[in-house]
Amino acid sequence: MNLQEAIKSFYAWQSKLSAYNHAMSAIFYDAATVAPKKTAANRAHALGILSEETYNLTTNAQTVEMLEFLDAHKDELGEKEQRMVYLACHGMNEMKKIPIDEYIAYQELLVEADDVWHRAKEDSDFELFRPVLEKIFEYNKKFARYCAPEKYPYDYWLDQYEKGLSMEKCDEFFATLKARIVPLIRKIGEAEQVDDSCIHGDFDEASQERFSLELMKIMGIDLGICGLGTTEHPFTTSIGSHHDVRITTHYQRDNFASSMFSVIHEGGHALYDMHSEDEFAYTNLDGGVSMGIHESQSRFYENLLGRSEAFVNYVFPKVCECFPQQMKGYTASDLYKAINLVTPSLIRTEADEVTYCLHVMVRYELEKRVMSGELEVKDLPLEWNRLYKEYLGVTVPNDREGVLQDSHWSGGSIGYFPSYALGSAYGAHLLHKMRESVDVEKCLADGNFEPVNEWNREHIWKYGCLKNPGDLLREALGEEFDPMCFIDYLERKYSKIYNI
Amino acid sequence: MNLQEAIKSFYAWQSKLSAYNHAMSAIFYDAATVAPKKTAANRAHALGILSEETYNLTTNAQTVEMLEFLDAHKDELGEKEQRMVYLACHGMNEMKKIPIDEYIAYQELLVEADDVWHRAKEDSDFELFRPVLEKIFEYNKKFARYCAPEKYPYDYWLDQYEKGLSMEKCDEFFATLKARIVPLIRKIGEAEQVDDSCIHGDFDEASQERFSLELMKIMGIDLGICGLGTTEHPFTTSIGSHHDVRITTHYQRDNFASSMFSVIHEGGHALYDMHSEDEFAYTNLDGGVSMGIHESQSRFYENLLGRSEAFVNYVFPKVCECFPQQMKGYTASDLYKAINLVTPSLIRTEADEVTYCLHVMVRYELEKRVMSGELEVKDLPLEWNRLYKEYLGVTVPNDREGVLQDSHWSGGSIGYFPSYALGSAYGAHLLHKMRESVDVEKCLADGNFEPVNEWNREHIWKYGCLKNPGDLLREALGEEFDPMCFIDYLERKYSKIYNI
């Protein structure tokens, strides 16, 4: 083997892997959006085989030989190929540690789990979901032990979603947030409450969909390569490369703001996914580098921009165009207050910015304890409800609005949730930095996202997975990340809204 | 290798192929229904690689060895495995004759062609479509020459869609139809015309969709494994096996009958696809055996049942429920006449039963001549328009309603169209036979499709690809197929409607 040939094979191998990913993403997207309800077993059959093919392609002797050869010659490679080889070797080494039978069985389990979770949520029946959730936690523990026996299993998974993250760091981060967010929530609770009646009413789905597409356009999302679907739980996925991205939302007939901010949130993910360097397509550098950075973008658009006064002033006439009857008598200021109402609530995806992190902390606490063996899956609903009472002061009326609300666990994502809180905080620091060179207020007031997008593209998006998330963030910020930016932002914004 | 092991490998191999088919069908279905418009190139990348994998899986040395071993031991196999081995060997032998580069290039071309055709149809711009259509015809000629150099290329393709079909048989079949259908059309033209105003009006898409789902339920289609989508051109596809089937329709705001009969037509395909023997799933016996038999089912439900007086009487109250304003003042008899209006028209999928075959004959004539080299692709629009004038007496105003109307050519299906006419005629003979044991009129009057479905299941559906289409049809009919049944049916039905 010579180096040129090895590099050529390496690109062909990545391209092939991307085709399998394309197929599996298309099947998953179809499953979540339009597939008939009783087709999960049929899907599991195909996905089981496709995962086996992917497993083999990642770990077979030819691949190992190619990757080891490239790794041995890494000093002769450019930055881009060096990183590709590093990521591919890392992926191969992890994959090889997981027995193929267990790997396939787990992929099939996830297809089943998605189906069972949907039904369990519909019927608010945790017992239906419990057996598959137990298996999912078991697999996550087992895989972590295979791949990193020296680590606590939960630390392994935290690090998977955000390189360098650990329980120790999370504990510290959440303690920092809690120390100032909990008093802020108390003060807000004692202040005069805002009226959010303008976002409630009867909003037909077709108008909400029209408004969603309008929002995507305002954000500068190219609808020619980004689709919009409807699902139980909103999400974003690429299909094969950054040349085809899909976001989904969930329409609530009685509250248009729910889908509005889901669309802006997922739109933030989509912008990130869609703007990797073109040459990264069909390689492992394509798309977002970590869930923390991903959420920094989604929550940036959703909250820092989407819930800002300047943006609400800009978008209010468009809201009125889509919902003329319902908006009668309301002003932009009413809408701004309504979408920034701070109140302890049940559903994470609809929580305000201030209480949001407490929702994440509940999940973090529970995952940590189940992964350590301290808590059993069967006791999750009770503990969930207890922590919601303790952290947020709310009583969970049923599991649908409690432990069954999110799709992450059924999707096998354990250790993902902290990314949301981290991402929110990254975003605030990034905005602080962006303001040095971009007049963000003016962009929002004009509904012109291009300068903001351009900054994100230059500092975050275009790099795809080229840099470690830590380096990427540090270089974008020009300094070490500091969660205080986020806390300061929250205190400043909400003190003004609540006159405290 | 021993026989038991070979059979086990053979099933595993079929299972793997079905997973690739699952992936490719899911990608195609997504492309036709919801994929963003500028994603064709991205899709072509993945489908190119997946077709290459499929090609290799079908033709690699291991497969050849396995299939040749099984073929050598075919006398020791049961009927089911014998047929599977026969079909697999046949498929492998054909595939091996096509150079892999050309095979992949053709698959990628079809992805591009689908995209180009959609745009060309939208703009009524044949010149945009012409270059890819030329390539498609060239590939079809070339592949036919590779696989069956002894045959005329068009004969090869006719035989692919309906085993045993040839230009000679088609010519004879169409001549038989023409001899009595053309005079029938003339007589109808001279009779007093029926009023079809009740199917025209303003029918919102949501109500039409609700009605479509109602129709599927009436037909006995399990919505848990059969989905409904919206596309430019209606079609049916299985995703991986008969456990997941999708039909699509196209809603016309000014005519609800268009989608109504598309849904019933595609529903007929779906019923056939969904009812292969359960044990055929993930093997090459799963699904319909030929396009002629497939169309015999779709056109059976669409016309013989769907456009019958008994069914219209049953369904009319449901039409009124979905479109109460629009149906005011009309009776079931008005609807029956409206949906059976015979009139030469432009669009095949919306043609009445009588003129329908003439639409097919136009396409057959053109394909035959392009495949023989007698006609060039660039001259297709002119010839299309000339034949529509000659056969149907209508003037084609533009290519959107002319040569660009169907999706078949962009999908690479050359030689498919005759199946529609054949299927219509098969269906009429099958109905004749079915009446010996099923009171079809009563079933339709009661909206109870179960006895009809049961007959089709027992005589057609359950066999999947187990029998040759010729044998399947002969055994179901208990005699040789006779197109006169179809012609008699048309004359009887339409003489009554038109009092001639």
Q: Which of B266, B353, B365, B367 is catalytic?
A: B266
Residue given tokens 């991903």 in the structure block:
A294
Q: What is the mean pLDDT of the segment spanning B30-42?
A: 96
Instruction: Count the neighbouring beta carbons within 10 Å of the beta carbon of residue B496.
Output: 11
H or E stretch covering A243: strand A241-249
What's the ipTM? 0.94
SS3 content of chain A, % helix, strand, coil (to 5): 70, 5, 25
What is A167-498's CATH number?
A: 1.10.1370.30
Note the pLDDT tens digit of each residue in B209-252. 999 999 999 999 999 999 999 998 999 999 999 999 999 999 99
**Average pLDDT score, chain B:** 97
Note the pLDDT tens digit of each residue in B345-364. 999 999 999 999 999 999 99
Cβ(B236)–Cβ(B203) below 8 Å: no
Q: Number of C-alpha atoms within 13 angstroms, CB side, residue A370? A: 28
**B46: contact with A, CB 8 A cutoff:** yes
pLDDT confidence of residue B278: 97
- Scanning every residue of chain A, which has its alpha carbon at the shortest distance from the alpha carbon of B205? A206
**B282: contact with A, CB 8 A cutoff:** yes
pLDDT confidence of residue B421: 95
**Residues B342, B496: Cα–Cα separation, whole Å:** 13
**A27: contact with B, CB 8 A cutoff:** yes
Cβ(A375)–Cβ(A383) below 8 Å: yes
- Scanning every residue of chain B, which has its alpha carbon at the shortest distance from the alpha carbon of A50? B19
pLDDT-derived band at A1 (thresholds 50, 70, 90) equals confident
User: From the list B18, B19, B50, which residue is nearest A19 (CB)?
Assistant: B50
**Residues B438, A452: Cα–Cα separation, whole Å:** 69
SS3 content of chain B, % helix, strand, coil (to 5): 70, 5, 30
Q: Percent of chain A beyond pLDDT 70?
A: 100
Which residues of A fall within a CB distance of 8 Å from B216?
none
Return the closest-CA partner of residue B233 out of B362, B104, B413.
B413
Q: Percent of chain B beyond pLDDT 90?
A: 99
Note the pLDDT tens digit of each residue in A92-151. 999 999 999 999 999 999 999 999 999 999 999 999 999 999 999 999 999 999 999 999
Query: Which residues of A are the active-site residues?
Result: 266
Note the pLDDT tens digit of each residue in A200-253. 999 999 999 999 999 999 999 999 999 999 998 999 999 999 999 999 999 999
Which residues of A fall within a CB distance of 8 Å from B246?
36
Note the pLDDT tens digit of each residue in A60-103. 999 999 999 999 999 999 999 999 999 999 999 999 999 999 99
Note the pLDDT tens digit of each residue in B121-171. 999 999 999 999 999 999 999 999 999 999 999 999 999 999 999 999 999
pLDDT confidence of residue B297: 98
**Residues B241, B286: Cα–Cα separation, whole Å:** 7
Strand-strand pairing, B245-249 and A226-230 = unpaired
Note the pLDDT tens digit of each residue in A448-472. 999 999 999 999 999 999 999 999 9
Work out the burial of residue B254: count CB atoms within 10 Å of its CB; fewer than 13 is exposed, 13-18 middle, 19 or more buried: exposed
User: From the list B23, B38, B206, which residue is nearest A46 (CB)?
Assistant: B23
User: From the list A38, A46, A224, which residue is nearest B37 (CB)?
Assistant: A224
**Residues A390, A402: Cα–Cα separation, whole Å:** 14
pLDDT-derived band at B1 (thresholds 50, 70, 90) equals confident
The DSSP code sequence of A88-142 is HHHHHHHHHHS-HHHHHHHHHHHHHHHHHHHHHHHHT-HHHHHHHHHHHHHHHHH
Which residues of B fall within a CB distance of 8 Å from A225?
36, 38-39, 42
Question: Tokens at residue B121, please?
Answer: 């149809």
> What does the longest C-alpha to C-alpha distance in chain B come to?
74
pLDDT confidence of residue B323: 97
Cβ(B468)–Cβ(B289) below 8 Å: yes
Across the interface, whether the CB atoms of A43 and B224 are under 8 A apart is answered no
Note the pLDDT tens digit of each residue in B60-88. 999 999 999 999 999 999 999 999 999 99
**Residues B340, B195: Cα–Cα separation, whole Å:** 10
Q: What is the mean pLDDT of the segment spanning A370-393?
A: 97
Question: Tokens at residue B381, please?
Answer: 């629009």
Across the interface, whether the CB atoms of A243 and B39 are under 8 A apart is answered yes
Across the interface, whether the CB atoms of A38 and B282 are under 8 A apart is answered no
Note the pLDDT tens digit of each residue in B252-311. 999 999 999 999 999 999 999 999 999 999 999 999 999 999 999 999 999 999 999 999
pLDDT-derived band at A197 (thresholds 50, 70, 90) equals very high
Whether the per-residue pLDDT at A417 is higher than 90: the answer is yes
Which residues of A fall within a CB distance of 8 Å from B18?
45-46
Whether the per-residue pLDDT at A377 is higher than 90: the answer is yes
**Average pLDDT score, chain A:** 97
Note the pLDDT tens digit of each residue in A336-361. 999 999 999 999 998 999 999 999 99
**B43: contact with A, CB 8 A cutoff:** yes
User: From the list A36, A225, A239, which residue is nearest B223 (CB)?
Assistant: A36
pLDDT-derived band at B385 (thresholds 50, 70, 90) equals very high
Note the pLDDT tens digit of each residue in B426-471. 999 999 999 999 999 999 999 999 999 999 999 999 999 999 999 9
Cβ(B467)–Cβ(B290) below 8 Å: no
A38 vs A232, higher pLDDT? A38
Separation in Å, CA of A369 to nearest CA in chain B: 38
pLDDT confidence of residue A252: 97
**A34: contact with B, CB 8 A cutoff:** yes
